[in-house]
Every structure is written in structure tokens, then in C-alpha cells.
């Protein structure tokens, strides 16, 4: 395909850039500035000239560097390919350049006599930063596949072996509310091996992809083998797929907080930065570090002593009657204080607890005469025990039921866990902090871990 238009279906991440032009009786002047007309900080500039007839330049892809190529004099044809889409663009105006992102093959062909081409690059020269064999290039590309139910076992197996996945990304958990979300989850393969998956849903009325709108956190779930360069390529493929297949205009991204990762897994945060992501909201969660637990505040110690004195006790329960009793307390607390209801109905949480009995656990505090006065639902993941729901009746509050419960869970039941997460204490995208709530959580030795959300314009 040969065209000079900027609305052609270009390979992944490529686009034409029109530069400003000033014209007067003396002639014409065009210019470009880094991070404005050029979408990166310029680290290197080089120019190509005196190209012999029939010769081709380029014939490679960059592993990390982006480039903008400009014909300041003369003309040539630019062939670009991402392994799926390829075009040939006639570059014949010094007012127009073409952006070549990492992972895209490019060839400069058919140079007119006396052509001069200037290239602005995002990285210094690196001899090892190229792939110069097209067959090798095509074989090493990341392919993007939209999830469907035929891939459920493969998806779930990958989540279990990933470095930052939890049972929340198991399709048997995610799909319990499939009727509320248009799923557009993606799977990324390289050399026929699954490299990463992206739980996601699409809101067509907003032109927005959420990762994920129905989960506390989402983002890329990654293989332990993925590298920073690999995550950049996956992000580029995801953005391209969303733009081409969905015509989406933005991506809301909720990365998995670092405490949930079994090994370091923040390659996606760097890819976010490189992709123009900006902070959209920030919630504050309170987390106890199991390897360095801070002492209980004196008010929490008093609460524990009071609970013991009145004969409160703790038990883990699978009994649906106990679930319903706790859900009644929880629902009353949420409605009276916040005019809200639990995210899950009692039917939904019982169903999920039945599917994940070792991951979704109910702990209740019982009075001396056998009545449930408080409780918590814990989402148990490899690194973190997360208190998904917490509630106490008025009697439970008076008698320190939650103090007894969490002192026991943190100090005994989950003493070997890396982290205990109380959940967030913020509202309105993080602009409001419930100081009383976070004070209570911090009394158990918890300190802040942020749950961030980013927006990426597409």
C-alpha cells in the first residue's frame, strides 16, 4: 500500500507527524521539539545522504529505541511492517516525518538523487539493539489474542504460575459477573508461549477499556520470564489492538499492588510511563508487614483485653447460616454509615466461597452465648491475606471484637504470611481519607500501600 495520508491503517504505533512551518519572503522554516512534536526526549540525531541508486537503508527493527524520520531534502519510500500490517509511505515533504516505534520493521527505499534524511532517536546508539533479519523478526513478534471460553484452562493455569496473579483473575472468579461487563481480556504469546494476560472489559459508550472494572486491581498478569523490553512490546500490542479492534480512545489501568507479587513485577509501571499513562486516582490501603510487624496501639490492646474479659471467641466458619448472620451485620453497617450495600450479594459470595474454599474464608467473633457479633471475609492469596469485608455489631464494637479478631489473625492464623492487607480507607478517587478508619487499621501496625489507577490516552 502506498499513500501519503495519515489516516491509513499504519503498523502498530506508527504515525505521520506534521511539523509547523513558517513561510515568508525569505523562504520556509520548519522545526520540531522533543516531547512536543517529537513524542520522546531526543537522545540522538543522525542523517543519511549520498545514498547510491538502488540501495536500501534501515532493514531492521529496534528493540527499544523510537525514531522519527524526516526527508529534509528529496524523497524516498518508507516501508514499515509490524508482522501483521505493512505499508509503504512516500516521504517527500520536509514538513512531515514518520514515527517508528520499537518492534516495527522499517526499510528506506527508492532514494531520489541528492536526498537528505534526518533521524531523531529516543536512545543513544546500541549495536545490540537491532534485529536485522526479517524472518527472525517475524518469528519473534508478540501476537495478541482475545480471550474466549475455549482458553479458560490455559488462562487459569497461566495465572497460577504467573509472578503477580491471584485467584481474582481465575476465570471462575472473574466471570461470576460476566453479564455486567463486556469482556475484552487479552492473551499475549511469543514463540507460541504465553507471556502475559490482561483482564479487561470495554465500555463502548465511553470508548474506554478498563483493566478491570469489576476487580479491585487488574493490569498485566505476567510470566516470571518477562523483561522490561518484553513488557514494552506487550503494552504496544495491547494499545494497538484496542485502537484497531475496538476503536477505543482510552485505557484505564489498575496495576496489581506490589505486595501481591511473588517476585518483582513492576515492568508494567515502566511501560505505563513510556506509553503516556498518567495517575487517574490513588487509594490508600493499610498493610501489615509480616516480617516486621509494628506493635499494637494501646487502644487496640485494651480492646483485646476487653474482648477476652467478656468471653468473646473466634472461629472460621463454612456454615451458610454464619455467612448470612455476618452479611446481615455487614449490610446494616454499610447502609447506616455509607448508604451502600456489599459489592457481592450473599448468594454471590456463597457461590464464590464454594468455588474457592481455600481462598475465600469467613472468620466470625462469637459472644459467650453463641451469637455472632463481628467478622471478616479474608481473600487469601500466596503473598497477602486481604480483609475484603469487615463489620461488627454495636455489641461487638463495645466489647473490642475486631481488636481480638485481627490480633489473632495477624499474630496467629496468618503469622507466616508476607502481608496482611486491611483494604483502602479512601473515597472519591482518593481525594477523601477516612481518618478514623485508617487510625483503627494503623493501630494493628499497618502502614500505607497505594492502590493506583492510571489513564492512558489511545
Residue with cell 513488557: 231
With a CB cutoff of 8 Å and minimum separation 6, the contacts of 289 are 418, 419, 447
Residue with cell 542523517: 47
Confidence label for 7 from pLDDT (cuts 50, 70 and 90): very low
Question: Taking residues 398-408, what's their average pLDDT?
Answer: 98
Tell me, what's the pLDDT at 338?
Answer: 85
The mean pLDDT of the chain is 95
- Tell me how many helices (H) and strands (E) the chain has: 11, 30
Question: Taking residues 278-302, what's their average pLDDT?
Answer: 97
142, 234 in Cβ contact below 8 A? yes
Question: Taking residues 271-277, what's their average pLDDT?
Answer: 93
Tell me, what's the pLDDT at 337?
Answer: 87
Kindly tell me if the per-residue pLDDT of 4 is higher than 60: no
pLDDT in tens, 148-189: 999 999 999 999 999 999 999 999 999 998 999 999 999 999
Tell me whether residue 138 is exposed, middle or buried, using C-beta atoms within 10 angstroms of its C-beta: 0 to 12, 13 to 18, 19 or more: middle
pLDDT in tens, 55-90: 999 999 998 899 999 999 999 999 999 999 999 999
Confidence label for 280 from pLDDT (cuts 50, 70 and 90): very high
Radius of gyration of the CA atoms of the chain, in A:
28
- Rounded Cα gap, residues 21 and 2, in angstroms: 25
Question: Taking residues 368-382, what's their average pLDDT?
Answer: 97
Tell me, what's the pLDDT at 5?
Answer: 44
Question: Taking residues 88-99, what's their average pLDDT?
Answer: 97
Global confidence as pTM: 0.88
- Rounded Cα gap, residues 279 and 276, in angstroms: 10
Kindly tell me if the per-residue pLDDT of 249 is higher than 60: yes
* Dihedral, CA of residue 108, residue 109, residue 113 and residue 118, to nearest 10: -10
- Rounded Cα gap, residues 178 and 171, in angstroms: 10
pLDDT in tens, 384-399: 999 999 999 999 999 9
Tell me, what's the pLDDT at 1?
Answer: 40
Paired sense of beta strands 384-392 and 419-424, if any? parallel
State phi, psi for 96 to the nearest 5 degrees.
-135, 135
- Output DSSP code: residue 34: B
pLDDT in tens, 125-141: 999 999 999 999 998 99
Residue ranges of domains in the chain, CATH in brackets: 2-139 (2.60.120.10), 142-276 (3.40.630.30), 287-452 (3.40.630.30)
State phi, psi for 110 to the nearest 5 degrees.
55, 55
Confidence label for 3 from pLDDT (cuts 50, 70 and 90): very low
Amino acid at each position: 500500500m502506498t499513500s501519503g495520508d495519515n489516516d491509513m491503517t499504519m503498523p502498530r504505533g506508527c504515525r505521520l507527524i506534521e511539523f509547523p512551518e513558517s513561510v515568508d519572503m525569505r523562504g520556509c522554516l520548519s522545526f520540531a521539539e522533543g516531547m512536543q512534536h517529537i513524542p520522546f526526549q531526543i537522545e540522538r540525531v543522525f542523517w543519511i545522504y549520498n545514498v547510491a541508486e538502488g540501495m536500501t537503508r534501515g532493514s531492521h527493527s529496534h528493540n527499544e529505541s523510537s525514531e522519527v524520520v524526516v526527508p529534509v531534502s528529496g524523497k524516498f519510500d518508507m516501508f514499515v511492517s509490524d508482522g501483521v500490517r505493512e505499508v509503504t509511505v512516500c516521504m517527500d515533504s520536509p514538513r512531515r516525518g514518520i514515527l517508528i516505534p520499537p518492534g516495527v520493521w522499517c526499510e528506506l527505499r527508492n532514494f531520489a538523487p541528492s536526498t537528505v534524511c534526518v533521524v531523531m532517536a529516543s536512545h543513544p546508539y546500541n549495536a545490540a539493539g537491532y534485529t536485522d533479519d526479517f524472518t527472525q523478526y517475524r518469528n519473534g513478534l508478540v501476537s495478541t489474542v482475545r480471550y474466549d471460553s475455549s482458553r479458560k484452562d490455559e488462562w487459569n493455569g497461566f495465572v497460577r504460575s504467573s509472578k503477580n496473579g491471584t485467584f481474582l483473575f481465575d476465570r471462575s472468579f472473574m466471570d461470576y459477573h460476566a453479564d455486567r461487563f463486556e469482556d475484552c481480556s487479552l492473551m499475549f504469546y511469543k514463540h507460541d508461549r504465553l507471556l502475559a494476560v490482561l483482564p479487561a472489559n470495554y465500555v463502548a459508550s465511553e470508548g474506554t477499556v478498563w483493566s478491570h472494572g469489576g476487580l479491585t486491581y487488574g493490569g498485566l498478569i505476567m510470566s516470571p520470564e518477562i523483561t522490561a523490553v518484553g513488557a514494552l512490546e506487550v503494552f504496544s500490542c495491547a494499545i494497538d489492538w484496542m485502537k484497531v479492534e475496538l476503536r477505543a480512545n482510552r485505557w484505564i489501568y489498575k496495576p496489581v499492588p506490589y505486595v501481591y507479587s511473588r517476585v518483582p513485577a513492576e515492568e508494567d509501571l515502566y511501560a505505563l510511563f513510556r506509553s503516556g499513562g498518567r495517575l487517574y486516582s490513588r487509594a490508600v490501603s493499610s498493610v501489615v508487614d509480616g516480617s516486621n510487624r509494628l506493635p499494637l496501639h494501646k487502644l487496640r490492646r485494651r480492646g483485646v483485653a476487653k474482648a477476652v474479659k467478656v468471653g468473646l471467641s473466634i472461629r472460621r466458619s463454612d456454615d451458610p447460616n454464619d455467612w448470612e448472620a455476618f452479611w446481615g451485620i455487614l449490610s446494616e453497617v454499610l447502609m447506616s454509615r455509607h448508604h451502600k450495600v456489599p459489592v457481592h450479594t450473599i448468594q454471590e459470595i456463597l457461590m464464590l466461597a464454594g468455588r474457592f474454599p481455600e481462598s475465600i474464608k469467613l472468620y466470625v467473633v462469637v459472644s459467650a452465648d453463641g451469637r455472632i457479633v463481628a467478622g471478616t471475609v479474608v481473600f487469601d492469596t500466596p503473598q497477602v491475606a486481604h480483609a475484603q469485608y469487615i463489620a461488627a455489631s454495636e455489641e461487638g464494637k463495645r466489647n473490642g471484637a475486631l481488636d481480638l479478631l485481627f490480633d489473632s489473625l495477624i499474630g496467629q492464623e496468618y503469622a507466616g504470611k508476607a502481608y496482611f492487607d486491611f483494604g483502602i480507607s479512601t473515597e472519591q478517587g482518593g481525594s477523601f481519607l477516612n481518618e478514623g478508619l485508617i487510625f483503627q487499621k494503623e493501630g494493628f501496625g499497618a502502614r500505607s500501600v497505594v492502590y493506583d489507577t492510571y489513564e492512558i490516552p489511545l
